[in-house]
C-alpha cells in the first residue's frame, strides 16, 4: 500500500516564475492538505481540498492556489515566486472525519 507521494523531490526556480507541485494521497484517502515549512520552522497550513473543492485556507496570498482531481490527487500552484517561497512543501492526506493525517516526503523548492 503506497503512502503519500509527492513530485518532484527538488525544484529550483527563479523569482517571478510559476511552479506546480503534485501529490498523490494514500490509498483510500479523500482529503489533501498542503503545508509550507521554512527552514528551522514548523509546517504552516496552506489549504485543504476535499471533494475537489478548497475547504479551508490558511494565511497565504492568492499566489498560492490548488486543485484536486477526481482521483483525489492534488496540485499546488505558486505564481510570481518570491525568494521567501523557498521552503519544503508537504502534502498530507487523510480520510474525512478521521483525525490522523499522513504526510508525504515533501518537495524542496528553492527560489533564486
Partner 1 sequence: SQQGEEDPQALSIQEGENATMNCSYKTSINNLQWYRQNSGRGLVHLILIRSNEREKHSGRLRVTLDTSKKSSSLLITASRAADTASYFCATDPYGGSQGNLIFGKGTKLSVKP
61 by Cβ neighbours in 10 Å (0-12 / 13-18 / 19+) ranks as: exposed
DSSP secondary-structure letter at 26? P
Binding of residue 24 to partner 1 (CB under 8 A): no
**Residue 88 makes contact with partner 1 by CB under 8 A:** yes
- 55, 60, 65, 79: which one binds partner 1 (CB under 8 A): 55
Determine, following the binding rule CB under 8 A, whether residue 110 of this chain makes contact with partner 1. Answer: no
Quick count: other Cβ atoms within 10 Å of Cβ 51?
11
Under DSSP, the state recorded for 72 is: S
Point out which residues bind partner 1 (CB under 8 A): 4, 31, 33, 35, 39-45, 47-48, 55-56, 58-59, 88, 90, 92, 94-106, 108
Amino acid at each position: 500500500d503506497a503512502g503519500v507521494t509527492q513530485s518532484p523531490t527538488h525544484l529550483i526556480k527563479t523569482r517571478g516564475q510559476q511552479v506546480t507541485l503534485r501529490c498523490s494521497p494514500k490509498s483510500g484517502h479523500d482529503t489533501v492538505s498542503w503545508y509550507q515549512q521554512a527552514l528551522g520552522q514548523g509546517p504552516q497550513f496552506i489549504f485543504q481540498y476535499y471533494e475537489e473543492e478548497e475547504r479551508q485556507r490558511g494565511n497565504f496570498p492568492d499566489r498560492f492556489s490548488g486543485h484536486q482531481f477526481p482521483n483525489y490527487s492534488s496540485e499546488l500552484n505558486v505564481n510570481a515566486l518570491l525568494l521567501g517561497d523557498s521552503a519544503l512543501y508537504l502534502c498530507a492526506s487523510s480520510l474525512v472525519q478521521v483525525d490522523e493525517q499522513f504526510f508525504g516526503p515533501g518537495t524542496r523548492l528553492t527560489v533564486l
